[in-house]
Amino acid sequence: MSPSPRAVALAVVLALGLLVADWPVIVVLAVALATATVVDARAARRPVTVSRQVPGRLARGVPAALTVTVGDAGARRVEVRQPRVPDVDVEPGTGAGGLEATVVARRRGHHELPPVAVRVTGPLGLGRWDREHGGRHVLEVHPDLPAARRLATAVRQARFRDPGLRRRGAIGLGTDFDQVREHQPDDDIRHVNWAVTVRQGRLMTNQYREDTERDVVALVDCGRLMAAPVPGRPGGSPDRTRLDVAVDAAAALAAVADAVGDRCGALAYDDEVRARVLPRRSSGDDVVRALHAVEPRPVDSDAERAFRAVGTTKRALVVVLTDVVDAAAARALLDAVPVLARRHVVVVASCTDVEVEAAAAGDDERALVAARVLAGRDRAVAEIRRRGAIVVEAPPDRFSAAVVAVYLDAKSAARL
């Protein structure tokens, strides 16, 4: 319980009244004010019903509604405040009689919203009570799933460049067994199933279906280089890390693979394997759940260990989502790429640094430094290509679409 600003102001007025009025009158008024404040505070103490609605799952950077409703207030005035936590914005944070706010999570992972703070002021406006309502609410923040789903929808509706939906497989018959059926005159004699023929007493043959499903594996680097903050566009303030951009691309890759019927897997690594999803159909949700909470660690990544853990013997598209700074920083990656490229199609994808590129366009000393940084990156990219990998570079806001485009190009060209 606490007095309201109105009660404090009246008490100050009574104190000043001692200068112009008889003190017995002031004492009577002071007792009346104290009594009214206590009575008002007791009225404010009566409980109110408070309900908070906020989604348990959010997408990073995507606004969601937060609503706090108050009941049984009567003539009392109720103020509601939702305390903030780091990396989660709530606007507005306070409201009268309830709260209609927008919550935006700036980082992936798990965050906890504190209980709602409620201040109830009595009908006279003299006394009030502060209390908390509800427990802590856990927010599970995923990558930018709406953007991933938009890409998948564009592919499904053939609005994306080369949707990769054509049923084109490798030259020759597929190797996926379908069923055993009775032999037809034009069937290949090499496909006769002699064991079943003996049991059935008539000629039976194996039927195969064309193998059109492809394996796609996203390798997400979680090492120290991926902790660097990047702006979404030139001139903007950094609002994500390189790892955030990589996880968004992995989610988009999985969503598109689901749309075109391919098997998608994922692996997060630094100097060890942090999370893993083996390639399988309709794995988009599994990929998101495995990657949504990974954070960069201050260690050098071991690309060779990650490549050994890819987990598929079938030829696959392996997309390494990492940061290419220069040849020295990418040495472990350069040494590991040829081993993986012997069996799989390897794509090394890295988002460009829009701030460095903007600085290189100037004519001051910063431009010279930025030009040297970009030259070192170009040398590393050329070396990666020479060792058998495809390199994708794009700004953060177009990075996911660029990765998806390379995947669909490889699929439509039957490179998988």
SS3 77: strand
pLDDT by residue (tens digit) across 225-236? 999 888 766 666
Same domain, 237 and 91: no
Query: How high is the pLDDT of residue 312?
Result: 63
Query: How high is the pLDDT of residue 235?
Result: 64
Q: Please check whether residue 129 is in contact with residue 110, taking contact to mean a CB–CB distance below 8 angstroms.
A: no
Query: How high is the pLDDT of residue 3?
Result: 83
Query: How high is the pLDDT of residue 402?
Result: 92
Query: How high is the pLDDT of residue 356?
Result: 83
Question: Which range is least confidently modeled, 17-21, 34-38, 44-48?
Answer: 17-21
Same domain, 82 and 1: yes
Same domain, 96 and 163: no
Residue 172 lies in a domain: no
In the predicted model, what is the mean pLDDT of residues 333-346? 86
Question: Which range is least confidently modeled, 168-172, 187-191, 261-265, 396-400?
Answer: 168-172
How far does Cα 367 stand from its chain's mean position?
Answer: 33
Query: How high is the pLDDT of residue 234?
Result: 61
pLDDT by residue (tens digit) across 5-14? 888 888 888 8
Same domain, 227 and 314: yes
What is the tally of structural domains in the chain?
3
Query: Does the pLDDT value for residue 115 go beyond 60?
Result: yes
In the predicted model, what is the mean pLDDT of residues 270-299? 91
Query: How high is the pLDDT of residue 404?
Result: 93
pLDDT by residue (tens digit) across 139-160? 989 898 888 888 888 887 777 6
Query: How high is the pLDDT of residue 414?
Result: 64
**Which amino acid is it at 378?**
D
Same domain, 251 and 106: no
Calculate what percentage of the chain has a pLDDT beyond 90.
32
Residue 95 lies in a domain: yes
What share of residues in the chain are helix, strand, coil (percent, to 5)? 35, 30, 35
The b/e string for 399-411 (b: 16+ C-beta within 10 A; e otherwise) is bbbbbbbbbbebb
pLDDT by residue (tens digit) across 290-313? 998 899 999 999 888 888 888 666
Tally of helices (H runs) and strands (E runs) in the chain: 11, 22
Residue 173 lies in a domain: no
Q: Which of 188, 209, 230 is the last residue of a domain?
A: 209
Q: Please check whether residue 282 is in contact with residue 258, taking contact to mean a CB–CB distance below 8 angstroms.
A: yes
Query: How high is the pLDDT of residue 20?
Result: 78
Q: Which domain holds residue 324?
A: 145-167+212-412
* pLDDT tier for residue 415 given thresholds of 50, 70 and 90: low
Q: Domain holding 374: CATH number?
A: 3.40.50.410
In the predicted model, what is the mean pLDDT of residues 214-220? 92
* pLDDT tier for residue 168 given thresholds of 50, 70 and 90: very low
Query: Does the pLDDT value for residue 166 go beyond 60?
Result: no
pLDDT by residue (tens digit) across 26-41? 888 888 988 988 898 8
Both tokens assigned to 155: 């592919």
Both tokens assigned to 330: 């990418």
Same domain, 305 and 161: yes
Same domain, 119 and 230: no
SS3 145: helix
Tell which wins on pLDDT, 313 or 211. Answer: 313
- In the predicted model, what is the mean pLDDT of the chain? 85
Same domain, 7 and 129: yes
Quote the Cα angle for 239-244-250, to 5°.
145
Query: Does the pLDDT value for residue 217 go beyond 90?
Result: yes
Q: Domain holding 69: CATH number?
A: 2.60.40.10
Tell which wins on pLDDT, 81 or 87. Answer: 81
Same domain, 217 and 248: yes
Question: Which range is least confidently modeled, 75-79, 86-90, 180-184, 410-414?
Answer: 410-414
* pLDDT tier for residue 187 given thresholds of 50, 70 and 90: confident
Same domain, 224 and 205: no
Tell which wins on pLDDT, 325 or 294. Answer: 294
Same domain, 288 and 248: yes
How far apart are the C-alpha atoms of 49 and 367, rounded to whole Å?
60
Query: How high is the pLDDT of residue 23?
Result: 81
Same domain, 125 and 252: no
* pLDDT tier for residue 169 given thresholds of 50, 70 and 90: very low
Query: How high is the pLDDT of residue 63?
Result: 92
Tell which wins on pLDDT, 167 or 316. Answer: 316
Residue 320 lies in a domain: yes
- Supply the angle between the helices 365-386 and 331-341 in degrees, to the nearest 10: 30
Query: Does the pLDDT value for residue 332 go beyond 90?
Result: no
